[in-house]
Amino acid sequence: MDRNIQRMARFFADSPCKLRPHFKAHKTPEIARRQLAAGSVTGLTCATVSEAEVGVTLTNDILIANEIIGPAKCDRVAALARGRSITIAADSIAGLEQMGAAATRAGVTVGILVDVNVGQNRCGVAPGEEALTLARRVAATGGLRLRGVMGYEGHLQPVFDRGEREARARQAMEALVRTAHLLEEHGLPCDTVSAGGTGTHDITGRVAGVTEVQAGSYVLMDADYARLELPFEQALFVLGTVVSRPVPERCVADCGHKATTKDHGNPCVDGVEGASVVSLNDEHATIALPPGAAIAIGDRIRLRPSHIDPTMNLHDVVYALDGDRVIDTWPVAARGYPEQRSL
Ligand SMILES: Cc1ncc(COP(=O)(O)O)c(C=O)c1O
């Protein structure tokens, strides 16, 4: 993990574009502290208000790269903005009005990035005129300050072929940077152009005009990202115990999908040549074993999660290792869904 942090910091060290590590990947203050200390960062990216509430204990510059809707959540964001730089993404007039009203009530200013759809087809307005129209609305809404644009090319992160990933990410970023220029041509401030993730950090991060990259997974990596040739190492493992070996070619460990998620496929087995997870149930990982595998009931088995973000969200703590030695226990302090309290 420390090597991943250093490698990413070095990549952005001499670049006008900086890193804004995504806190949602791990929700763990001790990891974020190390990311911030490594330098080349603008602040933290968060996905939820509750992450931001923990994030402000680590930095005064937070981007919630997400739409924030509902007066209760908007009030919580406004409360965080007192004396800090808090920015959210927005793609609707309704969202701007709600955030503007909350900021005005609290007597603070909340930053806005106009969320631009660069092809992921999740949130975001269309690049160009539609983004300009919303940006004008930001500028005209009390309590808000236009900081720029955001365009997350999430659909391109897992594209296996490097050439294709590069060509499509450049095209997506062209639309985003063109939109930023359009805003500036109309006298609107656009200091921030925020985009990117682990799979495109070294493409998006070198496009002229992009000012920050929101990569998250690079810090711990997962089996899904391991398919791509990225300069980061797997650093998160789920440790289970073999509870059954009913036949020689199969064992079962006590780490099912309540311990490691399967939304990006089954996890991989680490350190047992030829072994693979064939299914995950709530509390069971069923593992196919190669002939003669020396695995006995009671043995520990390490899985490499296929997707770190939701896996981290399942655990109260992580154990920090130096080699095989546990050197610390870190709370996953921003896990869960505490924002539901304000629904
Ligand atoms: C808006 C946004 N930005 C950045 C990221 C970070 O991506 P990654 O974990 O692939 O680095 C995500 C991840 O889903 C995201 O939703």
User: Phi and psi at residue 157, in whole multiples of 5°?
Assistant: -55, -45
Average pLDDT of 227-254? 97
Which pLDDT does position 338 carry in this prediction? Answer: 59
Tokens linked to 55: 């994030």
Average pLDDT of 221-235? 96
Residue nearest to atom 3 of ligand 1 (CA): 214
The helix (run of H) or strand (run of E) holding residue 72 is helix 71-80
Q: Which residues contact 93 (CB under 8 A, 6 or more apart)?
A: 134, 137
Confidence bin at 214 (pLDDT 50/70/90): very high
CB of 329 closer than 8 Å to CB of 317: yes
Which pLDDT does position 181 carry in this prediction? Answer: 98
Query: For 120-158, how does the pLDDT look when each residue is reduced to its tens digit (9 = 90+)?
Result: 999 999 999 999 999 999 999 999 999 999 999 999 999
Which pLDDT does position 337 carry in this prediction? Answer: 62
d(CA 335, CA 290): 37
For the chain, state the CA radius of gyration: 21
How would you label 223-244 residue by residue, b for 16+ Cβ within 10 Å and e otherwise? bbbeebebebebbbbbebebee
User: From the CB of 307, is ligand 1 less than 6 Å away?
Assistant: no
CB of 253 closer than 8 Å to CB of 278: no
Q: How many angstroms separate the alpha carbon of residue 21 from the centre of ligand 1?
A: 9
User: From the CB of 240, is ligand 1 less than 6 Å away?
Assistant: no
Which pLDDT does position 167 carry in this prediction? Answer: 98
Query: For 67-109, how does the pLDDT look when each residue is reduced to its tens digit (9 = 90+)?
Result: 999 999 999 999 999 999 999 999 999 999 999 999 999 999 9
Query: For 3-46, how does the pLDDT look when each residue is reduced to its tens digit (9 = 90+)?
Result: 999 999 999 999 999 999 999 999 999 999 999 999 999 999 99
Q: How many angstroms separate the alpha carbon of residue 198 from the centre of ligand 1?
A: 7
Query: For 298-327, how does the pLDDT look when each residue is reduced to its tens digit (9 = 90+)?
Result: 999 999 999 999 999 999 999 999 999 999
Ligand 1: which of 157, 204, 219 to mutate, most ligand atoms within 8 Å of CB?
A: 157
Residue given tokens 């993404």 in the structure block? 89
Which pLDDT does position 342 carry in this prediction? Answer: 46
Q: How many angstroms separate the alpha carbon of residue 151 from the centre of ligand 1?
A: 11
User: From the CB of 200, is ligand 1 less than 6 Å away?
Assistant: no
Orientation angle between helical segments 93-106 and 129-139, nearest 10 degrees: 20
Closest CA to 286 of 308, 262, 312, 315: 262
Which pLDDT does position 11 carry in this prediction? Answer: 98
User: From the CB of 154, is ligand 1 less than 6 Å away?
Assistant: yes
Mean pLDDT of the chain: 96
Tokens linked to 16: 């006008």
DSSP assignment of 279-322 equals EE-SS-EEEE--TT----TT-EEEEE-S-HHHHHTT-SEEEEEE
Residue nearest to atom 12 of ligand 1 (CA): 197
Q: How many angstroms separate the alpha carbon of residue 201 from the centre of ligand 1?
A: 11
Closest CA to 66 of 251, 202, 179, 214: 214
- The helices-and-strands tally (H runs, E runs) of the chain is 9, 16
Quickly count: other Cβ atoms within 10 Å of residue 119's Cβ.
18
Ligand 1 atom showing the smallest separation from residue 309 Cα:
9
User: From the CB of 197, is ligand 1 less than 6 Å away?
Assistant: yes
